[in-house]
Amino acid sequence: MSDHPAQGPSPSGAAQRTEALRRIGQLLQVEKPRDGLELEVSGMIGHALGAARAGYAQLDGGASTLRIRDDWAAPPVACIAGNYSTELFIETINRLAAGQVIAVSDIAASPWLGGDAGAYASIGARAFIKVPVRRYGRLCGMLFVHADQPRDWSFSEVDFMREAAERLSAAPVPPAAPEA
């Protein structure tokens, strides 16, 4: 993790995250790919963390584009579905490719982000957690959650995201792997 998460989450938040993980696991075990599945899972994650936005970004085979098909956002935060050049988030992607889970409590105060900070500002993200999703040993995407204000993420919130990403990776029909 890049920033130091806060120490204890609320007990009700922990119960909500546990229930969300249970539901995500069940959903991904029985569901076939369908319209709205990513949005449903993203919504469970966003609600469980009280976040501004949550979703999954798929890295294309050439590693030049991030594709967000569906993301969940709490009103009045805008959804960011679409295609984005990986160059906009190169520092973040380099760390994810190295297998790092990243929790940033204040994007503007994180100098390692370099030019990525401007891209995050343009989508209204002020804090985030990003977890790499790997297939065949390679980065194929990331599970993300954004806050629209600086936020100290707890260790249990980061673990929740890591566990959600593991469930996503273990799904019967996983996210597409980058082509060789």
Domains in the chain with CATH codes: 11-169 (3.30.450.40)
Q: Calculate what percentage of the chain has a pLDDT beyond 70.
A: 83
Nearest to 168 by CA among 15, 42, 19, 9: 42
Assign 136 to helix, strand or coil.
coil
Query: In the chain, how many H helices and how many E strands?
Result: 5, 7
pLDDT of residue 129: 98
State which amino acid sits at residue 3: D
pLDDT, tens only, 78-117:
999 999 999 999 999 999 999 999 999 999 999 999 999 9
Euclidean distance between CA atoms 55 and 123, whole angstroms: 13
**Selection from 83, 62, 26, 65 nearest residue 178 by Cα:** 62
Please give the pLDDT value at position 180: 42
Q: In a 3-state reduction of DSSP, which class is residue 49?
A: helix
List the structure tokens of 151.
């936020």
CA atoms within 13 A on the CB side of 133: 27
Q: Considering the entire predicted model, what is its pTM?
A: 0.83
